[in-house]
């Protein structure tokens, strides 16, 4: 799923939450899915 996210493909809300949790764990900062994904 990380590869799909890096390519800019749309992700489902469930996968967006997984990517967000992984980034928060790796970076030590707190991001919300709305901060990372700007789909309209």
pLDDT digits (tens, 9 = 90+) for 14-27: 999 999 999 999 99
Q: Which residue has tokens 């919300």?
A: 32
Distance CA 25, CA 12 (A): 20
Chain-centroid distance, C-alpha 11: 8
User: How high is the pLDDT of residue 20?
Assistant: 94
pLDDT tier, 29 (very low <50, low <70, confident <90, very high otherwise)? very high
| Token output for 15 | 């996968």
Taking 90 as the threshold, does the pLDDT of residue 9 lie above it? no
pTM to 2 decimal places: 0.77
Q: Cβ distance 10 to 24 under 8 Å?
A: no
Exposure on the CB side of residue 1, measured as CA atoms within 13 A? 14
């Amino acid at each position: 799923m990380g590869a799909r996210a890096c390519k800019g493909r749309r992700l489902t809300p469930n996968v967006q939450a997984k990517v967000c949790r992984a980034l928060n764990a790796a970076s030590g900062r707190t991001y919300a899915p709305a901060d990372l994904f700007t789909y309209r």
